[in-house]
Structure 1
């Protein structure tokens, strides 16, 4: 079967695509940036660029497709996301009709028992918009998904790992039926072989009906962590989202719409889907254990990826999502000149800003038993995978364009420093530098917040100075050539 997955770079899409391909389907994965999809290394998958707001790209992506999965939404996309979701769904619905697609499969959210939040209302409206077209739609409605990287699951993990005493708001008494990621994927794949599900709307749920307090307590038991809840009635959903932004690594733009949806119970009725697909379901505790096992079994990625366990010291207690800083600078110097500076960073070449502070950090690291700066560099210019650069390790390298360094200093968490150099049509280039930190426990959070003022200086001036060094080197080389 020829299948399109729109939104393939997202959480569900990135797990569904390889599963469908392994089952023997001809899969076309689509997202705004095809290069992001290609970097995943999926075998036998056609990766294409498609934008739900660009009809021409949708027409190309849907050509020859039998079934299309629609996994696009604007979670945390800022004001006006409901209108954007509606327009995107209208565009996709009409493009699917033009292409002669036989069925659309859409993943939405369970209808709450009370008033729906703006985010959940938008998810429900998207299903209505898709059904307004001539292509039959199979809509699966899920609540909290238990899997590494699922926002709801990562909030639970961070709360348990980061808070010795947990302040719990009123919504911890709301009920939900969390579903294991593997079970949700089985449903999404299984409906392809069940023609009677075309045109149907189904709740998909786990077997356990639990309050969120139970979800926290069970995760704590599995992880071997203490669970000491302290309930406070004054934490409204809005205050809760701000609070989660402080004590978890889940981005607040994502946490806010998530928490808004927890004001009422999210309990579904999966009797209808169970008649067509009576798959064995995992309990919540089994789903947690499967999620942690899946993390440990993941291959080492070629570059830094949010949540990759290899970049978190293979420690599942370290937050999946990261805190971070990034800066981007354009320069007239060509990419080769900028890369020449980037690849020589560290050692005797230094870090192009506040080298005294880097030295102090290295001395402190030695004091507490770390490697400090004593390792230097193997070579002042050449760099390869596995090289030690001071207290960094080269874990990702694309010659001429990308350098990824994993911190080996003593830290209450895991840190990554990544440089990306991209050429411009004008002959110049763009340097992007990202610093990502995955905190571990309350000390990891305190460490990050204590260094935020310094990071605001270092991680903006450092790439600026790298660019200036590249420009000086480029001008010098031009003068040398001119005088030769």
Structure 2
């Protein structure tokens, strides 16, 4: 690593800052002492990033060449981390045009080095359109700036990586998988930690300039083997049945139906996975002697650690800040394998009053709305071996981390701002309930009630949607009661008499919950044997 004094004299431009690699690269560059400039088509998309106030921000678009001169002025090194993936015929043409615009502007600005991350694969093997486009972009950049360093990698293993997330969703949701022939293609995946190490090191390694450098982890294996390892680490029993066909169209549709990844993205991605992506030389080892890539299992464990429940308080709040419209009364998204259902209400009360209201729920006060349904859920949980509804809390007026709250446990608490509860009832997955307060200058506050659920396996996915309507009744009623109680002088929740129609809906929800819990217990017992 170059001396920080030398690094501070260099200005680095990062494109693709809102993308998976770009967003993670920036903190590493800042830590290494570089002056970092971030380019985005819309600077509002950078809101909520931890590094936002530590970088220079410029708005520019690679498809609008007249905007690039300002972005590249005075830049020594530029990271080009822009690419698209689509089943549409013109995506490669757009990528080539973008690279040509950027390369030409970088040349005019006398940029010394471009660092680019492309894809592994040998041209003689007949590359997919996506991989061919990735390699074409590298060639175009080098035509303009000969000192372009082009890294070529296979699947990047890390929470949030497109290929990794597709593998994870399929493995977690499908107990039985028909495995088309592309799942038996050899690949050499690499941990996101190692990709970032190579990218940062290239800026301080003159020997990397002008080189095409293939990078990969320690292991060469098939995608089927990788899914099997993932299932083992997750404690899942999976049955994989080989199919002697490639079936990219069928696979793309199946991914579209069973994961959040659309067919438009899944189909070209699967076509690329049909190409063998293995490192064919040791140039990376010779140039970057200080980097020792992780094994596949180590990389998977790190990715799973990042998805661990303990990080939900910080990781999910940060990611939501840049993408959610916070004044919407209801928002539902699926991100990183977690369902997130948020409800927002404006409350004419102080943060102290609101906090005291939601921190008093549970125990003798109950859950404010359809409380009998919460109790029924607890009895069902006890029936299948869970902790059940424990009818209590340590103190009726205060909470602390670790407190039991019926079948929840307090995981985090920030007085007058936030309360995070972790579900301890029997579930085919993991769940949390979070209450947060945002005060406003006019004396009102925004109360946000968010349910998080990380499903385990296909049944965990089905379980969530089976209870989707029940959640709407329960959680809508709960937050409305919290608002009413916070704005009133009364210390007890108002009596609610649900209509007959709502009562029947609650009964139906109870039966659905009962069946879901029993099935969850059976499947959980099977997965753990």
TM-score (norm 1): 0.71
C-alpha spacing 1:306/1:329, structure 2 compared with 1 (3 Å): closer
C-alpha spacing 1:173/1:306, structure 2 compared with 1 (3 Å): farther
Deviation, 1:327, is: 3.3
C-alpha spacing 1:265/1:403, structure 2 compared with 1 (3 Å): same
2:488 to 463, 473, 476: 473
State the distance in 1 between where 2:54 and 2:72 align.
12
Q: Provide the residue aligned with 1:287 in structure 2.
A: 296
State the distance in 2 between where 1:51 and 1:122 align.
25
State the distance in 2 between where 1:77 and 1:463 align.
42
State the distance in 2 between where 1:384 and 1:78 align.
53
Deviation, 1:429, is: 4.7
Q: Provide the residue aligned with 2:241 in structure 1.
A: 230
**Matched residue pairs, number?**
455
Q: Provide the residue aligned with 1:35 in structure 2.
A: 48
1:116 to 117, 122, 128: 128
Q: Provide the residue aligned with 1:107 in structure 2.
A: 117
State the distance in 2 between where 1:467 and 1:99 align.
57
State the distance in 2 between where 1:71 and 1:357 align.
50
State the distance in 1 between where 2:100 and 2:392 align.
56
State the distance in 2 between where 1:37 and 1:275 align.
35
**Which range moved further: 169-178 or 130-139?**
130-139
C-alpha spacing 1:34/1:78, structure 2 compared with 1 (3 Å): farther
Q: Provide the residue aligned with 2:176 in structure 1.
A: 165
C-alpha spacing 1:206/1:374, structure 2 compared with 1 (3 Å): closer
SS in 2 for 1:409: coil
Greater gyration radius: 2
- Report if aligned partners of 1:11, 1:150 keep a CA contact under 8 Å in 2: yes
Q: Deviations over 1:353-409 (max 9, x none)?
A: 433322211222233333333254445554444343332223234444443222122
State the distance in 2 between where 1:146 and 1:175 align.
15
C-alpha spacing 1:114/1:52, structure 2 compared with 1 (3 Å): farther
Instruction: Return 5+ residue gaps in structure 1 as ranges.
Output: 40-44, 309-318, 477-484
Is 2:203 the partner of 1:192?
A: yes
TM-score (norm 2): 0.66
C-alpha spacing 1:280/1:325, structure 2 compared with 1 (3 Å): closer
Deviation, 1:184, is: 2.4
C-alpha spacing 1:441/1:353, structure 2 compared with 1 (3 Å): same
Write the mapping of 1:27-426 to structure 2, written as runs, cut at 5 A: 28=36, 32-37=45-50, 46=54, 66-71=76-81, 102-110=112-120, 113-114=125-126, 116-117=128-129, 120=131, 123=134, 127=138, 137-160=148-171, 162-206=173-217, 208-217=219-228, 219=230, 228-232=239-243, 236-244=247-255, 251-252=261-262, 258-267=269-278, 269-270=280-281, 272-277=283-288, 282=293, 286-292=295-301, 300-301=310-311, 303-305=313-315, 321-331=336-346, 333=348, 336=351, 339=355, 341-374=357-390, 376-380=392-396, 382-423=398-439
C-alpha spacing 1:175/1:190, structure 2 compared with 1 (3 Å): same
State the distance in 2 between where 1:222 and 1:236 align.
28
**Which range moved further: 129-138 or 407-416?**
129-138
Q: Provide the residue aligned with 2:451 in structure 1.
A: 435
- Report if aligned partners of 2:202, 2:208 keep a CA contact under 8 Å in 1: yes
Deviation, 1:153, is: 3.4
State the distance in 2 between where 1:335 and 1:123 align.
54
C-alpha spacing 1:128/1:225, structure 2 compared with 1 (3 Å): same
1:445 to 453, 458, 461: 461
- Report if aligned partners of 1:244, 1:252 keep a CA contact under 8 Å in 2: yes
Q: Provide the residue aligned with 1:312 in structure 2.
A: none
SS in 1 for 2:273: coil
- Report if aligned partners of 2:420, 2:434 keep a CA contact under 8 Å in 1: yes
Q: Deviations over 1:410-441 (max 9, x none)?
A: 22221122334335577655444332222223
**Which range moved further: 24-33 or 416-425?**
24-33
Deviation, 1:463, is: 3.9
Q: Provide the residue aligned with 1:313 in structure 2.
A: none
Q: Deviations over 1:45-77 (max 9, x none)?
A: 93676666599x999998986544444566789
- Report if aligned partners of 2:80, 2:115 keep a CA contact under 8 Å in 1: yes
SS in 2 for 1:372: coil
**Which range moved further: 326-335 or 190-199?**
326-335
- Report if aligned partners of 2:180, 2:246 keep a CA contact under 8 Å in 1: yes
CA RMSD, aligned part only? 5.0
State the distance in 1 between where 2:375 and 2:98 align.
51
Deviation, 1:455, is: 3.1
- Report if aligned partners of 2:186, 2:220 keep a CA contact under 8 Å in 1: yes
Instruction: Return 5+ residue gaps in structure 2 as ranges.
Output: 1-6, 319-333, 492-529
SS in 2 for 1:436: strand
State the distance in 2 between where 1:461 and 1:76 align.
42
- Report if aligned partners of 1:101, 1:135 keep a CA contact under 8 Å in 2: no
Deviation, 1:185, is: 3.0
Deviation, 1:144, is: 0.6
